[in-house]
Chains A and B, each alone.
Chain A
Amino acid sequence: MESGCSKKLLDLIPQEKKWGFIENQNGISHGSSEEKKLELKLGPPGEEDEPLVSFGYFSSMKSNAKQAHNKFPPAQEDHRGGAVLTASWAKNHHHQPKPPNCSQKRTAPGPVVGWPPIRSFRKNLATTSKLASESPTSLPHKVAIERKPAAPETRGKGLFVKINMDGVPIGRKVDLKSYDSYEKLSTAVDELFRGLLAAQRDPSADGPKQEEEKVITGVLDGNGEYTLVYEDNEGDRMLVGDVPWHMFVSTVKRLRVLKSSELSVINLGSSKKGKMVQN
């Protein structure tokens, strides 16, 4: 191995957290030798250089997944200064074999988290806009219409699912992780929608909260004006309350509060589940 290739970024990530940077390969011209003296170094000139590693963050929770910058290609080449990789990437790749040849030419540095400092919604402009401007006379393309499927989000530790109620145009969200039983969920439904439902019935009542608000009860036992149903991960509509709570939480995708009178009209579940009896 050539002396210039003594240290590889990949070797050093899991074990060491020293600061430094990877020395340029021999023969790479970056302009004057003066520039080399000015490169990022750990200590006074002349000391041995060590790799520079810094850690950035993935925003894995963010719904905007268009951040191609965060998916780092394996850094086959050494590069000067600021080699940055995410910690999780590092873990997965630290067994990578060393690149067969130390590149003599200057190679592109790997992408860095948050650099250049452009917010995510300003990215990916080249693709969308170019398509438009390339075909001025031909038929313009349709604005992409994507409905996001109703799926639970986990923000931090919560499990948020959407919940809509018949007769109320505004949907809400519930964090299922904050309940441990159907009773608590049922109470939450009442809390979320009681006011909204009252407002729907009497839209002129805006002012002190002295409207008549009917408590929403009986959503689980079929006796109330409304019944709670859910859509599971197979897309089937099921009555809430039939399966053990933890099983419900693991399969529920979306909740709905339907008028009990409408229930017979709606296809509940599929026959193979066989749980369509109202208690």
Chain B
Amino acid sequence: MSEDDERQQYPPPDLEFASNKARNCNSTGSGSGHPEFQSTYPDQVLENVLENVLHFLTSRRDRNAASLVCKSWYRVEALTRSELFIGNCYAVSPGRATARFTRVKALHLKGKPRFADFNLMPPDWGAHFNPWALAMAKAYPWLEKVHLKRMSVTDDDLATLAELFLGFKELVLVCCDGFGTSGLGIFVNKCRQLKVLDLIESEVSDDETDWISCFPEGESNLESLIFDCVECHINFEALERLVARSPSLKKFKLNRYVSIGQLYRLMVRAPQLTHLGTGSFSPSDIVGQGDQEPDYVAAFAACRSLVCLSGFREIIPDYLPAIYPVCANLTSLNFSYANITAEQLKPIISKCHKLQTFWVLDSICDEGLQAVAATCKDLRELRVFPVDPREDSDGPVSEVGLQAISEGCRKLQSILYFCQRMTNAAVIAMSKNCPDLVVFRLCIMGRHRADPVTGEPMDDGFGAIVMNCKKLTRLAVSGLLTDKAFGYIGRHGKLVRTLSVAFAGDSDMALKYVLEGCPQLQKLEIRDSPFGDAALRSGLHHYYNMRFLWMSSCRLTRHGCQEIARAMPRLVVEVIRSADEEEMDDVVGTLYMYRSLEGPRTDAPKFVTIL
């Protein structure tokens, strides 16, 4: 880092014009008013310039780079960073973050690693929002936005957000837990400027509080209210009144306790919606044949701005035609809870020419995917989830569907595909047909399953993906895989940042190939693969560049992990024990290690040993 001894008497000529402009813009500088600034404080001027310029820098990677230029750039960048992103809440302490960045308006925090979503981590492991909430309250009372992913948030934390941050506007909780409807009630009641409350895939406990009624009376600023993951009844009348007094509401995603009749009543009050989650999409009561049903088609037709549709939590397919009027405008459609057939899908999807994001269940079969491929030429993201997520169930989708998609949707950038069978040929075809792929996640649900046509491992398929998809940054592998597959990844996956491995590989070489070959690797999550201490050692040169490494049910030993911990003081090496493992067992159940400026955390539960 260059020091202030680079300071010059006069500002460099190329900055003159900019400096002048800065003064005229009346920034925080000490403008003395006269055009000759040679005798004023060049550093101050430089800082003013920087401040103005850096305000435009939004990308955090660019900001990180800027902060490394020299001390004054570091200082100014810290002053102008208004959105703070911390990818691992334990990498840095709240105190350190608030000391460096003093003018933060938005905080984005991530906690637990992704495998925690699949019960691979015991509850109460950590990632508590509380210390952050308290630190923010002191440092950034003007904080407006908090975005949390996989953090543990309590009702008290919600109360803190609403009570101590007077201008608080936006709360987004993704895959969080630890709070309930009573916390929500306090939050919405006290947060008078609230614009966004998005609860996404979070676990919300039912405290039997009518939190919808807790929104204050009078016109609301709500722009987005997403609560489709909240698994409890809500007060519909209160919700209807809330919608009626929220003229800015654009994004609205209901939970499955809202019937289609109730959906209708809400939609007619909010035709300005752009994003709608339809709730159950089935009637709540027994509806007789002769009963007057509302005109659902008209309700959808009135929503001319609708571009994103989801929900369908307990769909009665008879009602699907109601959405025809909006199909032509849809860019995003989420049918991942709708157990519908290909025949039921076709009339819908054939109208969705603009679709870019499509999430669906494999109940539509290969035939349904072929229909998607035929119409959705602009498709960027596809996710196919299993209706029956077991290893040996019948697989309605296969290599046929994948092949069809690769041929029809050439602009595909991101795919998540669950299936029971897959061939190398189809994967290779996709690697060639879809060169823009950035995310490729294939989950062949049967472990160690080979190519059913050739009997070979899936090495060549994944090899083709890393070879041909030059923009690939995220990869998840499955099926029968030898070390060869990992050799390909190490050799060609130069941009890969996130890699997920399960039940794969033959030996330590596989992990070595990856750790030695992938310079951009940030997040590596591995389970049930035969990688041991030697493989772990081969990543020593790279671990400080990574956000984390997760290895569960592999072949690591405690002394192997200890070696790593000793070699790398800025790495926190956590060994997480399952119920019956003794503390001094040499075999490691789960290793979770991450770089951190703070050393071992103080809130680790008993089943976690930090080496």
Name the distance in Å between A166's Cβ and chain B's nearest Cβ. 15
Using an 8 Å CB-CB cutoff, how does the interface string of B227-257 with A read, 1 for contact, 0 for none?
A: 0010111000000000000000000000011
Most chain B Cβ neighbours within 10 Å, of A80, A112, A143: A143
Chain A residue nearest in CB terms to B280: A143
Chain B residues, Cβ within 8 Å of A111:
390-391
From B119, B178, B257, B318, contact of A70 by CB (8 A): B119
- Surface stretch bound by A, among B27-35, B86-94, B443-451: B443-451
Does A119 lie within 8 Å of B316, measured CB to CB?
Answer: no
A150 close to B (CB within 8 Å): yes
Q: Let me know if A142 and B443 touch, CB within 8 A.
A: no
Q: Which of B266-274, B540-548, B574-582 contacts A (4 or more CB under 8 A)?
A: B574-582
Whether the pair B185, A108 counts as a contact (CB closer than 8 A) is: no
Q: Which of A120-171 contact B (CB under 8 A)?
A: 120-123, 125-126, 128-130, 132-133, 136, 139-140, 142-143, 145, 147-148, 150, 153, 155-156, 162, 169-171
Closest to B556 in A: A19
Q: Which stretch, A51-59, A212-220, A244-252, touches the partner chain B?
A: A51-59
Across-interface contacts of B579 in A (CB, < 8 A): 55, 57-58, 86-88
Query: What are the residues of chain B within 8 A of A30 when measuring CB–CB?
Result: 450
A40-B503, A55-B581 known; A116-B445 Cβ under 8 A: yes
Say which size band chain B's interface belongs to.
Answer: 35 or more
Q: What DSSP secondary structure best describes chain A's contact surface?
A: loop
The answer to whether A206 and B190 have CB atoms under 8 Å apart is yes
Q: Does A274 contact B (CB under 8 A)?
A: no
Q: Is A2 an interface residue (CB 8 A)?
A: no
> Are A39 and B389 interface neighbours, CB within 8 A?
no
Chain A, residues 97-111, CB within 8 Å of chain B (1/0): the string is 000000000001101
Chain B, 269-287, contact with A by CB distance < 8 Å: what is the 0/1 string? 0000000000010111111
1/0 per position for B291-302, CB-CB distance to A under 8 A? 000000000000
A81 to B502 alpha-carbon distance, docked (Å): 12
Contacts of B414 in A (CB 8 A): none
| B182, A170: Cβ atoms closer than 8 Å | yes
Judged by a CB distance under 8 angstroms, whether A262 is at the interface is no
- Which of B16-24, B47-55, B207-215 is found at the contact surface with chain A? B207-215
B455 touches A35 (CB 8 A): yes
> Which A residues are CB-close (under 8 A) to B482?
38
Contact of A172 with B155 at beta-carbon distance under 8 Å, contacts A114-B119, A140-B283 already known: yes
A199–B530 Cα distance when bound, in Å, is 60
Q: Are B450 and A129 in touch, CB under 8 angstroms? A: no
Q: Write out the residue numbers on chain B whose beta carbons fall within 8 Å of the beta carbon of A122.
A: 336-337, 385, 389
**Which one of B257, B480, B527, B581 contacts A38 once the chains associate, using CB atoms below 8 Å?**
B480
Q: Is A67 an interface residue (CB 8 A)?
A: yes
Q: Determine how close the nearest CB of chain B comes to the CB of A69; give it in whole angstroms.
A: 8
Q: How far is the CB of B491 from chain A (nearest CB, A)?
A: 20
Expressed in whole angstroms, the minimum distance between the Cβ of B130 and any Cβ of chain A is 14
A41 touches B315 (CB 8 A): no
Asked if B36 is at the interface (CB within 8 A of a chain A CB), the reply is no
Q: B residues 190-240 with Cβ under 8 Å of A?
A: 190, 192, 201, 203, 205-211, 213-214, 216-217, 229, 231-233
Are A132 and B316 touching (Cβ within 8 A)?
yes
Q: Which chain A residues lie closer than 8 Å to B189 at the CB level?
A: 170, 199
Residues of A within 8 A of B180 (CB): 173
Asked whether B285 lies within 8 Å of A142 as measured between CB atoms, the reply is yes
Cα A136 to Cα B418 in complex, Å, equals 28
Do B286 and A140 have beta carbons less than 8 Å apart? yes
Does residue B553 face the partner (Cβ distance < 8 Å to A)? Answer: yes
Q: Which residues does chain B contribute within 8 Å of A162, judged by CB atoms? A: 182, 207-208
| A171 contact set on B, CB distance < 8 A | 182, 185, 207-209
Query: Is the CB of B115 closer than 8 A to any CB of chain A?
Result: yes
Query: Beyond A62-B203, A86-B578: 18 further Cβ-contacts under 8 Å?
Result: A17-B585, A31-B455, A41-B506, A54-B552, A54-B589, A56-B119, A56-B120, A112-B447, A115-B502, A118-B418, A119-B117, A119-B118, A120-B119, A129-B338, A132-B282, A136-B318, A142-B284, A143-B257
What are 29 contact pairs spanning A and B, CB under 8 A?
A: A32-B455, A35-B457, A54-B528, A55-B579, A56-B120, A63-B205, A67-B119, A82-B503, A87-B578, A112-B391, A113-B118, A115-B391, A117-B443, A121-B229, A125-B337, A125-B361, A126-B339, A129-B314, A129-B338, A133-B339, A136-B317, A139-B287, A140-B283, A143-B284, A155-B124, A156-B605, A170-B209, A171-B209, A206-B192
